[in-house]
Amino acid sequence: MHASKPEKSRASFLARIPSSREGLLLGLTLTLLSCLPFFAAPYPMLTDYAAHLARYYVMMDGGQNPFLARYYDFEWMWVGNLGADLLIWPLAKLFGLERAGWLIGLIIPLLTGLGIMAVEWALRRRVGVGSLLAMTMIWSPALVMGFYNFCLSLALALFSFALWVRLREWRWRWLLFLPLGLVVWVCHASGWGVLGVLVFGYEWHRKKGPAALLAPWPLTLPVVPMLLHQAAPIVSLYGRNVMRYKLGIWMQSMRDQAILLDLATPVLIVLILLVATVLRRIDGRLGWAVLIFAGLTLAMPRHFGGGDYADMRLIAVAFMIGCLAIGWQAPRWVLWLAPLLFLVRLDATVEGWHRQARELDGIMKALDYIPEGSKVAGAVLVESRRWETNSFQHVPSFATVRRDALVNSHFAIPGVHMLHLKEGGRGFVDPSHRIMYVPGREIDLAAFKPAKQTDYLWYIGRLPPTRMPEGATILYRTKGSFLARLANPVAPR
């Protein structure tokens, strides 16, 4: 039996090498689709989002609100962690604070997708399998947890590296990259580090030896503010059971909504990279950087310079650059198949956001019972054995944004962050809102220290507490939350 002409034609069509325009259009389509979660929910369902929003709110108020001026102080520091803090100023003036916070989140996946395409285009003058696979890592845990500054700096690092490659023969390239490296660092120091590794790996492949070691020198301008800034000592913690922890973060390196999908993703990516290596499809101009990133995930501690998951966030970066390193001009059927993992994961994220947003709508109605300028003890249950990312961890921070309240969920850590507590009393520290839960252990809020200094207790968790502060009165309740008026004496305002 001979294949019919239409069947031969289809097979021939799928086996052809696609044009550069086709790959570019497919990449642009996926980049636009990556923004879909922000249209699936009225609030960005990112873990740290509400805490960031509260910080921006206090920052932009500038001490004008009497309640905020009493509760908080904001001290600007020239540090490598200011990306969204600077961007929020013009956007909030134009659109309002909450819409601006939403818009920054929307911009991040868009910029990251475009940055991925820019790198491959600069290297190969096409958008191929590498870029389309790399887009799977746009929605990494760093974005899911709401690390706005890091994610912005990563996107800028990708664009900057693409420009470094594009201008490789220009003698004045160093002059451009002196300020450009500083801009990436201002967004977030880790993004600056990513850019440095990419530049070094690229130059090492081209030159090797001392010339490659010195090649990234135009990116060193941020060393000046780092030396001038008198901050708290850098804290680097590995904790106990280091190898068990490192294995855990690799297993959770793409953690989001669905445990089986999230566990399978890094396994699939590693297998693809191994096959590409065996088939000699890895582009050495990016391959060296991949090895360095993988090594850094093992060498770096979890806490570094005030940031959490400093090591974990680099795993997705290693996967992203590893995928970009695949330099195979694949047939059309492979190109169209490459985005499948990205699309499946994106669908899970959109569904999760939509479902969680419905629950958050009910939780947020508690704000109607909180008077302006109140003191609120947030208590959010964090279940150690629950896989799905907890998007409600910093929801109590909305009480600051909407009610000018004192809340214990903003990351107001002196010497590390720019937001500081001025009031709260003994036992009221920020953050102190997480209630770590292990099955079989009681959820005892009777001795919850922040509640001893506040007017209200705002509890969010799937399981009810076994004990409450004495004299607490429930004012509002949903299936997974409640707001209680506490019996503490109300301080004069």
pTM: 0.93
8 Å CB contact between 485 and 456: yes
> Are 166 and 211 in the same domain?
yes
In a domain, residue 88? The reply is yes
Q: pLDDT tens for residues 247-294?
A: 999 999 999 999 999 999 999 999 999 999 999 999 999 999 999 999
The two three-digit tokens of residue 283, written as one number: 């582009």
> Are 374 and 343 in the same domain?
no
How distant is the alpha carbon of residue 10 from its chain centre? Answer: 42
Which whole-number Å values give the CA distances from 149 to 63, 153, 346, in the listed order? 24, 6, 22
How far is residue 327's CA from residue 345's CA, in Å, rounded to a whole number? 24
Residue type at 324 in one-letter notation: L
| Mean pLDDT (whole number) for 372-380 | 96
> Are 282 and 133 in the same domain?
yes
What secondary structure does DSSP assign to 398-457, as a single string?
A: HHHHHH--EES-S---TTTSSEEES---TT--SS--EEEE-TTS--B-TT-GGGGG-SEE
Q: Angle, nearest 10°, between helix axes 189-206 and 148-166?
A: 30
Q: Could you give the percent of the chain with pLDDT greater than 70?
A: 94
β-sheet bridge partners, residue 293: none
* pLDDT at residue number 415: 67
> Are 423 and 331 in the same domain?
no
Look up residue 9 and give its DSSP letter. Answer: H
* pLDDT at residue number 238: 65
> Are 338 and 420 in the same domain?
no
* pLDDT at residue number 492: 45
How far is residue 50's CA from residue 493's CA, in Å, rounded to a whole number? 25
Who wins on pLDDT, 489 or 202? 202
Q: pLDDT tens for residues 163-204?
A: 999 999 999 999 999 999 999 999 999 999 999 999 999 999
In a domain, residue 10? The reply is no
Sign of CA dihedral 410, 414, 417, 423: positive
How far is residue 315's CA from residue 299's CA, in Å, rounded to a whole number? 12
* pLDDT at residue number 414: 74
166: CB partners within 8 A, 6+ apart: 122
* pLDDT at residue number 8: 64
Residue 303 pLDDT > 90: no
| Mean pLDDT (whole number) for 315-341 | 94
Domain that holds residue 418: 370-485
Q: Indicate the number of domains in the chain.
A: 2
Task: Tell me the CB-side half-sphere exposure of residue 55, using CA atoms within 13 A.
Answer: 25
> Are 185 and 331 in the same domain?
yes
> Are 411 and 315 in the same domain?
no
* pLDDT at residue number 2: 53
Query: Which segment of 2-16, 211-225, 478-492 scores lowest on mean pLDDT?
Result: 2-16
In a domain, residue 400? The reply is yes
| Mean pLDDT (whole number) for 307-322 | 92
How far is residue 421's CA from residue 150's CA, in Å, rounded to a whole number? 24
Q: pLDDT tens for residues 418-441?
A: 899 988 777 788 899 999 998 888
8 Å CB contact between 480 and 370: no
Residue 207 pLDDT > 90: no
In a domain, residue 52? The reply is no
In a domain, residue 5? The reply is no
What secondary structure does DSSP assign to 318-361, as a single string?
A: HHHHHHHTB-----HHHHHHTTHHHHHHHHHHHHHHHHHHHHHH
> Are 265 and 169 in the same domain?
yes
In a domain, residue 364? The reply is no
Q: How does the average pLDDT of the chain come out, rounded?
A: 91
In a domain, residue 408? The reply is yes
In a domain, residue 270? The reply is yes
338: CB partners within 8 A, 6+ apart: 129, 132, 133, 330
Residue 461 pLDDT > 50: yes
Q: pLDDT tens for residues 88-137?
A: 999 999 999 999 999 999 999 999 999 999 999 999 999 999 999 999 99
β-sheet bridge partners, residue 482: 459, 477
> Are 255 and 290 in the same domain?
yes
* pLDDT at residue number 301: 84
* pLDDT at residue number 347: 97
Residue with tokens 């330099």: 327
For residue 438, count other CB atoms closer than 10 A to its CB: 8
Containing 10, the helix (H) or strand (E) segment is helix 5-15
Q: pLDDT band at residue 210, thresholds of 50, 70 and 90?
A: confident
Residue with tokens 């920052």: 59
> Are 157 and 291 in the same domain?
yes
8 Å CB contact between 322 and 290: yes
Query: Which segment of 53-57, 211-215, 267-271 scores lowest on mean pLDDT?
Result: 211-215
Among 315, 350, 385, residue at a domain's last position:
350
The two three-digit tokens of residue 52, written as one number: 């960031």
383: CB partners within 8 A, 6+ apart: 390, 437, 462, 463
The two three-digit tokens of residue 76, written as one number: 């600007």
Cis peptide leading into 266, omega within 30 of 0? no
> Are 374 and 409 in the same domain?
yes
8 Å CB contact between 290 and 325: yes
8 Å CB contact between 423 and 400: no
> Are 312 and 400 in the same domain?
no
How far is residue 319's CA from residue 322's CA, in Å, rounded to a whole number? 5
Secondary structure of 216-240 in the HEC alphabet? Answer: CHHHCCCHHHHHHCCCCCCCEECCC
Strands 434-437 vs 456-460: parallel, antiparallel or unpaired? unpaired
| Mean pLDDT (whole number) for 68-74 | 94
The closest alpha carbon to 71, from 366, 407, 402, 452, belongs to: 407
- What is the chain's alpha carbon radius of gyration, rounded to the nearest angstrom? 24
Sign of CA dihedral 122, 123, 124, 128: negative
Among 350, 383, 406, residue at a domain's last position:
350
How far is residue 102's CA from residue 53's CA, in Å, rounded to a whole number? 10
Among 320, 350, 380, residue at a domain's last position:
350
